[in-house]
Chains A and B, each alone.
Chain A
Amino acid sequence: MNDHNDADESLVSELRQYFERVDPVPPLVIEAAKVALGWQRLDADLAELLTDSALEAESLAGVRGASADVRSVSFGAGELTIELEIRVEGAGRMLLGLVSPPSIATIEIQSTDGDAVTVTETDRLGRFRAQLPAGGNIRLRLLPGEPDSAQPVETSWITI
């Protein structure tokens, strides 16, 4: 980084002061970041976000098919995968999911907006559905049906 001359340095430093005046990180955004530690996973395995049609579609710049209203994402933790289809329905969101291998489980949908939790169950085939009143940051917590089986699994957060 020895190619910087003094004039460049002083212009960058002026820009830094400028952005600090006109576009500082809003205090509420910093506050939300600090509170995020409260969402730490304590007793669950993480199901990582594996695929997201919203991100893959980025390479098809400008192409928008009929499926643009439906977003599919998948999460995985070891053997377990959770597939999710998200439909925007006005302000609300319809979620259709599939847990595989299929198992009877309780699915909690946690949201960072307040403490509202939407609860649903999978059927024998591992399918579940849920209707959320609004979008936002959510994650799924899967509680296995049989009490003696594996510990709960939580997905990565996604913005829907």
Chain B
Amino acid sequence: MTLDALMRAAAAGDQVAWNAIVDRFSGLVWATTRAHRLSAADAADVTQTTWLRLVEHLDRIKDPERLGAWLATTARHECLRLIRLRGRELPSDESSVFDAPAEDHELDWSMLVQERDSALKRALATIGERCQALLRLLAAPEAPSYEEIGAALGMPVGAIGPTRARCLDKLRRSPEIVSLGTP
């Protein structure tokens, strides 16, 4: 089904159509909250508010094909609201995904994956907030479009390509990644 058809079905109360929309975009919404460095609890709140907003606007979205960008914009605004209300403090009992390493890996992953993950984590911690946010969105499930990423980060679409190249380069050159070899 096209997004347009899914939206119309969901507006008529079709739960299956609504679930399909959620499955397609929940990764984008979640990545948007995490790119804003929200804790898991705050990210869950913002995500819920974002979906509630879509429910109340189901019959008002003018361009269904741009739904992803609409959701990303809505999530971003909710993040900014919450950050303002919280005084931009991360709760001390929870770290952001970009913070320095923690020995928290599950045991059934192979050593190789664990080693690579922990190198990526250390490397990501060194590339700066702007790059972290952009890479979190670029690497979101379903590969968001530049329009969606721009909406999620409040960033002009034209700036994404060059920034992407620079951030990936920074990541690739970090000593943690270099020591692991390619890519």
Contacts and interface: CB of A to CB of B under 8 A. Distances in A.
Interface of A: 1, 3-4, 7-8, 10-16, 18-23, 25-26, 28-30, 32-34, 36-37, 39-41, 46, 52, 54-55, 57-58, 64, 71, 112, 136-137, 139, 154, 156-159
Contact of B164 (A8, A46, A58): A8
Interface of A is mostly: helix
A34 B18 contact: yes
Contacts of B120: 14-15, 18
Contacts of B182: 7
Q: Sorted from nearest, which 3 A-B pairs have the closest CB atoms?
A: A15-B139, A157-B52, A16-B139
B34 interface: yes
Contact of A33 (B22, B60, B161): B22
Interface of B is mostly: helix
Contacts of B27: 25
A137 B168 contact: no
Given A26-B44, A33-B26, A3 B87 contact: no
B85 A112 contact: no
Contacts of B168: 8, 11-12
Contacts of B146: 1
Interface of B: 10, 13, 15, 18-19, 22-23, 26-27, 29-31, 34, 40, 43-49, 51-58, 60, 77-78, 80-85, 87, 97, 109, 113, 116-117, 120-121, 135-136, 138-141, 143, 146, 161, 164-165, 168, 171-172, 182-183
Contact of A19 (B45, B52, B140): B140
Given A7-B172, A29-B26, A57-B84, 12 more contacts: A1-B146, A1-B161, A12-B135, A15-B139, A16-B139, A22-B121, A29-B47, A32-B47, A34-B18, A40-B58, A54-B85, A139-B52
Contacts of B172: 7, 11
